[in-house]
Structure 1
């Protein structure tokens, strides 16, 4: 591999451009993977609510072993699809399917 100090400007520009393309491609793959994972997690939350009915967010976290972030991403996914009812009781959020 050549050192940057030994390269001409056009070669440096080409390497920077390739690096930028690789970075965007990597970001796109990560984005697709994240979307698939969030959708899969949302499916698990939906299945839990479908099988067992209304659950608090704390109960869902316990049962799925998802992080709080993963739960809220999943809940957002399901809410965007119009699949959830929300009810607050004693400062705790409960979820059920519509």
Structure 2
């Protein structure tokens, strides 16, 4: 059950990042309504697939998209 939920969450987060390029964890939480533990699991999924980069700026963790087009993820 959780694996499919995490996959769906990661797809939505990745789509958000493709539109804006970088978001903080708090911004992702506000935009998606996901709780923090599911966000971190989804980010782990995306990190494993080399689709995002994590950076820290002034003590805040930001997530940046490494690809500009969602279709590139599958083709």
The DSSP-based 3-state class of the residue aligned with 2:64 is strand
Q: Which has the higher contact order (CA 8 A, sep 6+)?
A: 2
Query: 1:66 is matched with which residue?
Result: 34
In proportion to residue count, which structure has more strand?
Answer: 2
Hey, which bits of structure 1, 4+ residues long, moved more than 3 A? none
**Rounded Cα–Cα distance in structure 2 between residues aligned with 1:48 and 1:82:** 16
When Rg is computed on C-alpha atoms for both structures, the one with the higher figure is 1
Residue pairs, 1:37-76, within 5 angstroms: 37-76=5-44
TM-score, normalised on structure 1?
Answer: 0.65
Scaled by the length of structure 2, the TM-score of the pair is 0.84
Unpaired stretches in structure 1, ≥5 consecutive residues: 1-32
Is 1:81 the counterpart of 2:57 in the alignment? no
Q: Structure 2: state its 5+ residue gaps.
A: 67-75
- The structure with the largest helix share of the pair is 1
Partner of 1:90: 58
Q: Which residue of 2 aligns with 1:15?
A: none
What is the count of residue pairs matched by the alignment?
66
- RMSD over aligned Cα, in angstroms? 0.7
